[in-house]
Amino acid sequence: MNLGLETGTAAPALIAALRPRAEAARLWAVRDLAKGDTAFAPGDDSGDVYLLLSGLVRLVYATEAGEAWIKSFIIDCGVFSGRGAAEVGEGYGAEAVERSRFVRLPRAFVEAAVAEDAGVRAAYAAFSAWVLARKQAREAALLTMKAEARLRAILAAAPEIAARLPQGDIARFIGVTPVAFSRIKRRIGPPAV
C-alpha cells in the first residue's frame, strides 16, 4: 500500500523531460535548501514548480493553533508546487527535512512546455496520474486504517525512508500527537533489523 513515502518513476521522467527546455531557456538553476529552510511558507501565493533533485522536503499545513501537520513528503526526486494551496485557507508550506537540491521553474514555463511538447505532455500526464493514485491511497489509509496499522505499513514498506524522518514528523504524518505516537511505538516494539 502506498502511504505517501514511495517515490515512483513518474517524477524523474517529468524532470528529465523538462530539463532540456529549461536549460535552453536558461531557467535550469540548481539551488540548495539547507535543513530547516523553507522553499515556500503557508499562504505564499507563488505558483512556481519545484523540481527536487536530491534531499527530503515535507509539505506542511499549519493549524489555527499553530501546530504543523504533514501533507506529504517529497523524497530524493520529485515535483511539487504550492499552487492553489493559499486558495483553500492558509495553505501549506514546503520545508527541507535535510539538505536538498532543487530547480524552481515558473508555472507559465511548465504549462507552455506541456502544451507545446508531446514528450513533456506525456510525462506530465503520467506524473499527474501517479500523484492522484498516491493521494487516493493516502486518503484511504487515513480513513480506513488505525494509526498503528499505518505506522506498521510505513515501517514495513519504507524503513530506510522512515529512518531519515524525525519521529515527530512520522507522528504528524500518520495523524497522531507525539504522545499517542510514543504509545504506539511502545506497543509495537523496536523495528526488526
Query: How many CA atoms lie within 13 Å of 183's alpha carbon, on the beta-carbon side?
Result: 7
Describe the chain by its helix, strand, coil percentages, rounded to 5.
Answer: 45, 25, 30
Closest CA to 156 of 8, 50, 2: 2
- Confidence class for position 68, pLDDT limits 50, 70, 90: confident
Instruction: Tell me the per-residue pLDDT of 145-184, one tens digit each, with 9 for 90 and over.
Output: 999 999 998 888 888 888 899 988 999 888 898 889 989 9
Q: How far is CA 121 from the centre of its chain?
A: 21
Q: 32, 99 in Cβ contact below 8 A?
A: yes
Q: How far apart are CA 179 and CA 115, in angstroms?
A: 48
Cα–Cα separations (whole angstroms), residue 174 to 54, 90, 139, 149, 162: 24, 21, 11, 9, 12
Q: By percentage, how much of the chain surpasses pLDDT 90?
A: 51
Choose which CATH entry (2.60.120.10, 2.60.40.1120, 3.30.420.40, 2.20.25.90) describes domain 10-140: 2.60.120.10
Residue boundaries of the structural domains of the chain: 10-140, 145-187
Q: By percentage, how much of the chain surpasses pLDDT 70?
A: 91
Q: 52, 95 in Cβ contact below 8 A?
A: no
The residue with cell 484511504 is 140
Rounded to two decimals, what is the model's pTM? 0.87
